[in-house]
């Protein structure tokens, strides 16, 4: 397994290095030689079965799983943790007589902070000891296969320090030592995989359809091949494949705020949304969004059949309020196609080579106002709604685009573009300072 190989390399890097030492009896202090210092051999241990810390144990099978909770570990966080361990470097092995003289407790006073690697053919335990007073190094006790007392070694953290330290005390700072202590005592829940979809083999390329059913919105389904929206009556603008792909990628990357374990069937209530992903071979994955967990109001996600749920932040709710309009480009026209507009008694042409300019043979035009109108027309609306027959507006601007009658209007704090033939009303979320005017006179000098 790839992960086994990575962790074994970490151990070899920690316990087998080349270091510089001064030969005994050498008179010249510059007479230094390199010697290979090793506590384990490359092929000494076989397959890694688990890694154990004071508060939890991680078992390696098809995936890394936290044994007590039976929940998968987050691979990225686990790699970061192991990456910290991989930066530890062995600098010295104490002689047995040296340890015996002062006593082992002088170097490793207790057995509280440790990490243990369990292999199919043995185990290796690293116990954190005291920090050296005169350097950033510290002692560790290395025990193979429970054969005490093991070896006492001196270790350093080779990671470059980001913290700003005083020059006179940087050489003996305890920051790296305290960081290692904290890493060995990380709570189990910190390593929980908080992804919504935990199956590492789940592939968006295998999805054939997406169905979203929200009790407060219109239910819809998107077929991916060929790309189409159902029911067809909802289609006012063309679906964009990239937006569908981005949505699927968002689901794969989605992580909750907290994992809720030991889920009972009645813990979740007030179901609001179900997102159903159907694979090409007909397998359905149901993502349910609830408003209550054990009578506590909030935002909660659950994959149907899973023994855990996710608590979400309020900002993460948007995924489960996805509208079919998210997958459409709601701009009325592309920049390349917008070349002119027609008003009741004159037309306006747009020049976009270099500086923007609106021109008309009959009128002297207000360039700033036409630029705002141009930018509105080529930008995407936030959403659209049906245009009702009895809608009327006191402040409005009527014009035509490619023969299609349009009306720009304001209502309270909204800027609206009415498309009469399609019976649609586009809603724009724009800063008020950049709203184009709905008064015809403002477009003329």
How far apart (Å, rounded) are the C-alpha atoms in residues 390 and 87? Answer: 72
CA-closest candidate to residue 179, choices 66, 65, 64, 83:
83
pLDDT, block means (10 residues), the chain with 445 residues: 51 47 38 45 76 93 86 90 82 89 92 91 92 91 90 83 54 83 93 90 88 93 93 82 94 94 94 95 95 96 95 92 93 90 90 78 88 92 90 90 93 89 89 85 90
Burial of 13 per CB tally in 10 Å (0-12, 13-18, 19+): middle
3-state SS assignment for residue 338: coil
Helices 175-184 and 75-86 pack at an angle, to 10 degrees, of 140
Q: Is the dihedral of CA 277, 282, 283, 286 positive or negative?
A: positive
Q: Is the separation of the CB atoms in 310 and 194 below 8 Å?
A: yes
First and final C-alpha spacing in the chain: 75
How far apart (Å, rounded) are the C-alpha atoms in residues 140 and 153? Answer: 5
Query: Count of residues for the chain?
Result: 445
Q: Where are the beta strands (DSSP E) in 132-224?
A: 138-144, 151-157, 207-214, 220-224
Q: Is the separation of the CB atoms in 401 and 419 below 8 Å?
A: no
| pTM score, whole prediction | 0.79
């Amino acid at each position: 397994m790839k992960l086994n190989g990575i962790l074994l390399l970490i151990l070899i890097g920690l316990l087998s290095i080349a270091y510089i030492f001064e030969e005994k009896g050498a008179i010249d202090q510059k007479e230094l030689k390199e010697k290979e210092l090793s506590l384990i051999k490359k092929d000494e241990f076989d397959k890694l079965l688990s890694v154990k810390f004071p508060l939890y144990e991680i078992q390696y099978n098809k995936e890394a799983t936290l044994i007590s909770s039976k929940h998968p570990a987050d691979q990225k966080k686990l790699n970061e943790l192991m990456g910290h361990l991989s930066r530890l470097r062995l600098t010295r092995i104490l002689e047995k007589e040296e340890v015996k003289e002062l006593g082992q407790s002088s170097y490793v006073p207790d057995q509280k902070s440790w990490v243990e690697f369990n292999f199919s053919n043995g185990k290796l335990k690293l116990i954190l000891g005291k920090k050296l007073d005169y350097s950033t190094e510290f002692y560790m006790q290395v025990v193979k296969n429970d054969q005490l007392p093991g070896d006492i070694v001196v270790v350093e953290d080779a990671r470059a320090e980001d913290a700003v330290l005083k020059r006179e005390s940087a050489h003996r700072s305890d920051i790296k030592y305290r960081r290692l202590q904290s890493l060995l005592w990380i709570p189990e829940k910190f390593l929980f995989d908080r992804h919504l979809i935990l199956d590492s083999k789940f592939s968006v390329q295998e999805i054939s359809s997406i169905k979203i059913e929200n009790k407060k919105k219109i239910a819809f389904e998107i077929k991916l091949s060929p790309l189409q929206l159902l029911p067809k009556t909802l289609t006012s603008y063309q679906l964009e494949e990239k937006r569908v792909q981005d949505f699927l990628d968002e689901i794969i990357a989605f992580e909750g705020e907290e994992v809720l374990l030991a889920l009972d069937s009645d813990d979740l209530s007030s179901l609001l949304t179900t997102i159903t992903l159907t694979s090409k071979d007909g397998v359905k994955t149901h993502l349910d969004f609830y408003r209550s967990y054990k009578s506590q109001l909030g935002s909660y996600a659950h994959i149907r059949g899973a023994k855990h749920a996710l608590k979400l932040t309020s900002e993460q709710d948007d995924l489960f309020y996805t509208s079919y309009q998210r997958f459409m480009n709601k701009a009325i026209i592309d920049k390349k196609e917008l070349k002119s507009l027609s008003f009741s008694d004159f037309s306006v042409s747009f020049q976009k080579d270099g500086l923007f300019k609106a021109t008309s043979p009959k009128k002297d035009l207000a360039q700033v106002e036409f630029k705002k109108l141009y930018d509105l027309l080529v930008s995407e609306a936030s959403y659209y709604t049906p245009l009702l027959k009895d809608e009327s507006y006191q402040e409005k601007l009527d014009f035509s685009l490619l023969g299609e009658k349009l009306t720009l209007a304001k209502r309270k704090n909204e800027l609206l573009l009415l498309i009469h033939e399609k019976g649609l009303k586009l809603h724009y979320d724009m800063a008020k300072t950049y709203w184009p005017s709905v008064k015809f006179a403002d477009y003329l000098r």
